[in-house]
Amino acid sequence: MYAPEVEAPAAVVLPASGLDDLLTALTGRGYEVRGPTLRDGVVIHDRLTGAQDLPRGVGDEQRPGHYRTTPREDDALFGYAVGPSSAKRALFPPRQPLWSAVSVGDADFEIREADRPSPRVALFGLRPCELAAIAVQDRVLLHGAVPDEVYTANRADLLLIGVECGDPAATCFCSSMATGPGTDQGADLLLTELLGGEHRFLLRAPTAAGQALVADLDTRPATEADLAARDALLEDAAGAMERHLDTDGVHDLLLGNLEHPRWDDIAKRCLACGNCTLVCPTCFCTTVEDTTDLAGTTATRERRWDSCFSLDFTHTGPASVRNTTRARYRQWLTHKLATWIDQFDTSGCVGCGRCITWCPVGIDLTAEVATIKRTSEDPDAPARS
Amino acid sequence: MTDEIGRPSVAVWKFASCDGCQLSLLSAEDELLTIAGQIHIAYFLEATREVADGPYDISLVEGSITTPADAERIRRVREVSTTLITIGACATAGGIQALRNFSDMEAFRSLVYAEPRYIDALAESTAIAEHVPVDLELRGCPIETSQLVEVINAILAGRKPVTPTHSVCVECKLQGNVCVTVADGTPCLGPVTQAGCNARCPAFRRGCYGCFGPAESPNTASLASWLTDELAVEHPELVRLFRTFNADAPAFRTQSRRHEPDREEVAT
């Protein structure tokens, strides 16, 4: 996790009209600010030039295989849950040139590292589940046995500004994964949007970088009423969460049911299209593609997102190891919820619900786990490894 | 065979098709001169009347088999080709003309032609691979020029071509396209269709119509059920969705047949 650098100072309050000052303070410090904005009818993360780019008065309606934005009756700037994009796109890009081999002379070549422009990026408006996802990717890609160079470089000078959730979608289950709807960590600055009475933001800055930003803003100290409003908001949000994943014993449940008939039932519905893995904020699987130029003088190696749902992903020798959809879905779910814990000492799931919403046939992992649990012949069977 | 300066010979063959895929090679404007310098174009009637005798190192085959004469001709093409690559939906799945496989060819023959007795056609339009072994398939209607250049380039460099067989969805997500099915309720064949087009239609907020044919593990039955139950796509739209340029590709054919209530009704 992102350890606070300093004793967290008291919360302050910024009027909603002051949010633009925060964005200006970021761009003034040379940050390229990326945050939630509307595109093609969806809230995605893209470049922000000011508070006017935020989706004002926009809510969302999400269910398995379904997403729509909806108008709200208030001026909320963060009145929606997560959309299809996540911080993964910025920190672990879908395509990443790694290096080229260029011929020099008749029989020699030299290796050239790919240019990696690394703009100073501030990710703005990340939800607690998204901050938790960054913490998961940090474990894998930053603090793992072999740190990933690309991720490490993108992570180095990154500023994170989180926003707590007041209005979860029907596909959210962060309260089950203990990642939201509120958080005290994972970001340089944490915002809570308070809509009742004066439209305002509660600001807390767990890091020195966040505190320096707050110092540039015209804020007032938070009152007991402001803090109580935050508590009520988070309590309501947690209470409104419709979906739940029972994490108690899920590791042994899944690994003890590798031959459960439910996997066959899921395989009948699963399209093996890969959408769940690609929208997942923690999935990190990639492949490399080697191409050459027509002149035959330059070979380039590029890394791109892959998915455990593609046949090529386990292609070794004559065939794919996981050659059925059943095997591939089971691999994904058991890795995400069980063997991820063995590998990285954390669940791979943060409860954001993206894999449920963006599955083109609405497969819901919380429902599948519940079904396996309910119909497991021996829920206490020892895990196979 | 390779010519006197060591360039591999390439032949381009046409069967029942519109020539669009062959034109993809000619329209590779930025790369064409470089390619032309590295291969010996031995047989390519769309481009040149000059013809060199076989055998050929690489044969690119466009079009489907629709006549007894073509069924014979493709065997001779196979015999004189070291590597045979089929290009486009006609060659890889029978093409749009395979719509006749769902109807009565005899009825068409007598209705369309003044002198039907001169027409010597097979009852079905079939893919090249149903007649001879094929080394590589390039999908699409038409094929993607960049994929053709990639394959020629890979053969020249002696490496594996980068032509993934996963779904179009992967390309959408790599590019950051918003899913048209989930966000707009638009029927899209992307989840069951092979990549290679850079998700061209969804990038313009249109549903994929499957011109690259079925992906590696196409669960068309599940997609069809979802489209019916959630998006109310039913006959005849559901049949038409699967019955276009790759109508006779098995995974698409099975679904269009399954959702066809009355074959006679469709034929009229």
Q: Give the pLDDT confidence of B125-148 residue by residue, as tens digits.
A: 999 999 999 999 999 999 999 999
Predicted pLDDT at A381: 53
Same domain, B209 and B149: no
Q: 3-state secondary structure string, B5-34?
A: CCCCEEEEEECECCCHHHHHHHCCHHHHHH
| pLDDT of B265 strictly over 60 | no
Predicted pLDDT at A292: 93
Residue A114, helix vs strand vs coil: coil
Residue A5 and residue A205 in contact, taking contact as beta carbons nearer than 8 Å: no
Same domain, B16 and B121: yes
Interface test with B, best of A95, A271, A325 (most B CBs within 10 A): A271
CA distance linking residue A4 with residue A40, whole number of Å: 37
Same domain, B18 and B146: yes
Q: Which amino acid is at B93?
A: A
Hey, what are A85's tokens?
A: 């994009």
Residue A211 and residue A185 in contact, taking contact as beta carbons nearer than 8 Å: no
C-alpha closest to that of A180 among A162, A193, A195: A162
Predicted pLDDT at A246: 96
Same domain, B59 and B121: yes
Q: Which residues of A53-88 are buried (b: 16+ CB within 10 A; e: fewer)?
A: bbbbebbbebbbbbbebeebeeebbbbbbbbbbbbb
Any A CB within 8 A of B232 CB: no
Same domain, B195 and B145: no
Same domain, B202 and B256: yes
Predicted pLDDT at A107: 87
Is the predicted ipTM greater than 0.90, yes or no?
yes
Host domain of residue B204: 168-267
CA distance linking residue B141 with residue B124, whole number of Å: 19
Q: Inter-axis angle of helices B29-38 and B145-157, to 10 degrees? A: 30
Q: Final residue of a domain: which of B135, B157, B179?
A: B157
Q: Which DSSP string do the residues of B16-85 spell out, in sequence order?
A: BS-SHHHHHHHT-HHHHHHHHHHSEEEEETTT-S----S-EEEEEEESBB-SHHHHHHHHHHHHTEEEEE
Same domain, B25 and B148: yes
Predicted pLDDT at A105: 86
Q: What does each of the 385 residues of chain A score in pLDDT, given as a tens digit?
A: 444 555 667 899 999 999 999 999 999 999 999 999 999 999 999 999 999 999 999 999 999 999 999 999 999 999 999 999 999 999 999 999 999 999 998 889 999 999 887 789 999 999 999 999 999 999 999 998 899 999 999 999 899 999 999 999 999 999 999 999 999 999 999 999 999 899 999 999 999 999 999 999 999 999 999 999 999 999 999 999 999 999 999 999 999 999 999 999 999 999 999 999 999 999 999 999 999 998 889 999 999 999 999 999 999 988 999 999 999 999 999 999 999 999 999 999 999 999 999 999 999 999 999 999 999 966 555 554 4
Q: Which amino acid is at B49?
A: R
Predicted pLDDT at B185: 97
CA distance linking residue B238 with residue A257, whole number of Å: 37
A vs B, Cβ pairs < 8 A, gives 133
Those of residues 135-174 in B touching chain A at CB distance below 8 A are 149-150, 153-154, 156-157, 159-160, 162, 164-167, 169-170, 173-174
CA distance linking residue B8 with residue B29, whole number of Å: 21
Q: Which chain B residues contact residue A40 at CB under 8 A? A: 178, 183, 205
Predicted pLDDT at B266: 45
In a domain, B214, yes or no: yes
In a domain, B180, yes or no: yes
In a domain, B1, yes or no: no
Comparing A344 with B6, the larger pLDDT belongs to A344
Residue ranges of the alpha helices (H) in A270-359? 275-279, 325-334, 340-344, 354-357
Same domain, B61 and B132: yes
| pLDDT of B160 strictly over 60 | yes
Give the closest-approach CA distance of A92 to chain B in angstroms.
12
How many folded domains does chain B comprise? 2
Maximal C-alpha separation, chain B: 63
Same domain, B151 and B176: no
Same domain, B103 and B185: no
Ranges assigned E (strand) in chain A: 12-15, 32-39, 42-47, 58-63, 66-71, 95-104, 108-113, 121-126, 159-163, 189-194, 200-204, 220-221, 286-292, 298-305, 315-316, 319-320
In a domain, B2, yes or no: no
Predicted pLDDT at B32: 84
Give the closest-approach CA distance of B171 to chain A in angstroms.
10
Hey, what are A339's tokens?
A: 């063997």
Q: Which chain B residues contact residue A357 at CB under 8 A? A: 182
Residue at token pair 């939906």: B89
Any A CB within 8 A of B198 CB: no
Predicted pLDDT at A378: 60
Same domain, B98 and B26: yes
Give the closest-approach CA distance of B104 to chain A in angstroms.
33
Hey, what are B211's tokens?
A: 């011109």
Predicted pLDDT at A385: 44
At B98-126, the pLDDT tens digits run 999 999 988 888 898 999 999 999 999 99
CATH of the domain at B59: 3.40.50.700
- Burial (CB < 10 A; 0-12, 13-18, 19+), residue B84, is buried
Same domain, B99 and B193: no
In a domain, B236, yes or no: yes
Task: Output the average pLDDT for chain B.
Answer: 93
Residue B191, helix vs strand vs coil: helix
Q: Do A44 and B178 touch (CB under 8 A)?
A: yes
Q: How many residues does chain A have?
A: 385
Predicted pLDDT at A8: 63
Q: Do A311 and B216 touch (CB under 8 A)?
A: yes
Q: What angle do CA A171, A177, A179 make, to 5 degrees?
A: 95
